């Protein structure tokens, strides 16, 4: 079978590829090797797929359905492997091959429980989707494993802050929002209320229907920090719909309040991290030429 990377993946990785990176060119060969090594039968490549990995629907030698996921090093697949193993299927997709890091043929390759890839909580009405997504996220907030090497919220947002400053220098019109976001970050990092293992990139489309449990999270980019950081990305889900509403700003502030109350997170901390993450995403979208996305995200951020 030809393992042609989906256009969505090619476009997304192309936006962030370091000079000389040839992972996409190697991907078909890597996929064939991973399939042969595990004696898998390929059904199809999942389309449109994700923005950081190739997802292939397969069956194991005993006929069990599974998912083979291949991701480049910059997507931190080994960090995902450790997090999924630590969660052990509680609230997240089950890791079927907990191979130790560095084992032959395992780097950047994850064999996962098969969920229903075309059915996410995003298919539910908005209020129900937020409720189910929040309930799934709560189950993931556990103490990190001892001696973990996960990135912290301070470290990740520190890297992002440097890029945001550069973006503000290049586009002075966004400087006030960037300043507000960076100020919020500094204040929030001064006294975080907890240090838990977080999903890191949680949103409605990352919660899929399963057989073992109704809803399970997929695709983490794990990080250690406070709950409000994880919940912040969920606040802006369906941002296009929010922007289109005459009452979008009011709806956004109400969503912050309701999510904070339902998950017992401080409302001001959630608002602050929502501001930071929206501005960071908006500046990054502008940097890679996604102007429409940037406009939506920065307008959303201005409501906070």
Tell me the per-residue pLDDT of 139-158, one tens digit each, with 9 for 90 and over.
999 999 999 989 999 999 99
Confirm if 30 and 108 have CB atoms less than 8 A apart: yes
Tell me the per-residue pLDDT of 74-127, one tens digit each, with 9 for 90 and over.
999 999 999 999 999 999 999 998 755 445 557 899 999 999 999 999 999 988
Q: Who wins on pLDDT, 171 or 34?
A: 34
Distance CA 78, CA 106 (A): 9
CATH-assigned architecture of domain 7-113: 2-Layer Sandwich (3.30)
Tell me the per-residue pLDDT of 181-218, one tens digit each, with 9 for 90 and over.
999 999 999 999 999 999 999 999 999 999 999 999 99
Confirm if 149 and 254 have CB atoms less than 8 A apart: no
Equal fold, 7-113 vs 120-302: no
Q: 11 pLDDT exceeds 90? A: no
- Of 1-10, 134-143, 266-275, the poorest mean pLDDT is in 1-10
Q: 256 pLDDT exceeds 50? A: yes
Three-state SS sequence of the chain: CCCCCCHHHHHHHHHHCCCCCCHHHHHHHHHHHHHHHHCCEEEEECCCCCCCCEEEEEECCCCCEEEEEECCHHHCHHHHHHHHHHHCCCCECCECCCCCCCCCCCCCEEEEECCEEEEEHHHCCHHHHHHHHHHHHHHHCECCCCCCCCCEHHHHHHHHHHHHHHHHHHCHHHHHHHHHHHHHHHHHHHCCCCCEEECCCCCHHHEEECCCCCEEECCCCCEEECHHHHHHHHHCCCHHHHHHCCCHHHHHHHHHHHHHHHCCCCHHHHHHHHHHHHHHHHHHHHHCCCHHHHHHHHHHHHCC
The pLDDT of residue 19 is 74
Distance CA 221, CA 112 (A): 16
Percent of the chain with pLDDT over 70: 97
Q: 290 pLDDT exceeds 70? A: yes
Buried b (16+ CB within 10 A) or exposed e, 8-33: ebeebbeeeeeeeeebeeebeebbee
Nearest residue to 255 via CA among 208, 300, 195: 300
- Average pLDDT over the chain reads 93
* Both tokens assigned to 230: 């994880």
The pLDDT of residue 103 is 54
The pLDDT of residue 233 is 96
Q: Who wins on pLDDT, 81 or 172?
A: 81
| Mean pLDDT across 281-296 | 93
CATH (one of 3.30.420.40, 3.40.50.1580, 3.90.1200.10, 2.60.40.1930) for 120-302:
3.90.1200.10
The pLDDT of residue 115 is 97
| Mean pLDDT across 15-24 | 80
The pLDDT of residue 216 is 98
Cis, bond preceding 251 (omega within 30 deg of 0): no
What is the domain partition of the chain in residue ranges?
A: 7-113, 120-302
Distance CA 78, CA 83 (A): 9
- The dihedral over CA atoms of 24, 218, 75, 36, expressed in degrees to the nearest 10, equals -40
Exposed, middle or buried: residue 293 (CB in 10 Å: 0-12, 13-18, 19+)? middle
């Amino acid at each position: 079978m030809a393992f042609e990377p989906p256009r969505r993946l090619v476009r997304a990785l192309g936006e962030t590829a370091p000079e000389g990176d040839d992972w996409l060119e190697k991907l078909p060969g890597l996929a064939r090797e991973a399939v042969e090594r595990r004696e898998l039968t390929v059904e199809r490549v999942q389309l449109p797929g994700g923005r950081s990995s190739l997802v292939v629907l397969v069956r194991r030698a005993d006929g069990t359905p599974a998912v083979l996921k291949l991701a480049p090093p910059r997507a931190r697949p080994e960090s995902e492997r450790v997090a999924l193993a630590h969660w052990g299927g509680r609230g997240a997709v089950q890791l079927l091959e907990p191979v130790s890091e560095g084992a032959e043929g395992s780097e950047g390759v994850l064999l996962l429980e098969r969920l229903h890839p075309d059915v996410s909580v995003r298919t539910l009405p908005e209020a129900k989707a937020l409720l189910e997504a929040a309930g799934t996220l709560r189950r993931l907030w556990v103490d990190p494993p001892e001696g973990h090497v996960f990135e912290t919220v301070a470290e990740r947002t520190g890297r992002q802050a440097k890029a945001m400053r550069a973006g503000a220098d290049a586009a002075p019109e966004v400087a006030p929002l960037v300043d507000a976001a960076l100020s919020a970050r500094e204040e929030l990092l001064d006294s975080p209320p907890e240090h838990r293992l977080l999903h890191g990139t949680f949103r409605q489309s990352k919660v899929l229907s399963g057989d073992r449990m109704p809803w399970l999270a997929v695709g983490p980019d794990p990080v250690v920090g406070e709950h409000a950081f994880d919940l912040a990305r969920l606040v802006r889900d369906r941002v296009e719909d929010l922007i289109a509403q005459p009452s979008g700003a009011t709806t956004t502030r109400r969503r912050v309040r309701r999510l904070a109350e339902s998950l017992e997170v401080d409302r001001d901390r959630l608002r602050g991290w929502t501001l930071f993450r929206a501005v960071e995403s908006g500046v990054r979208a502008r940097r890679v030429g996604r102007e429409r996305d940037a406009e939506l995200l920065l307008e959303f951020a201005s409501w906070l």
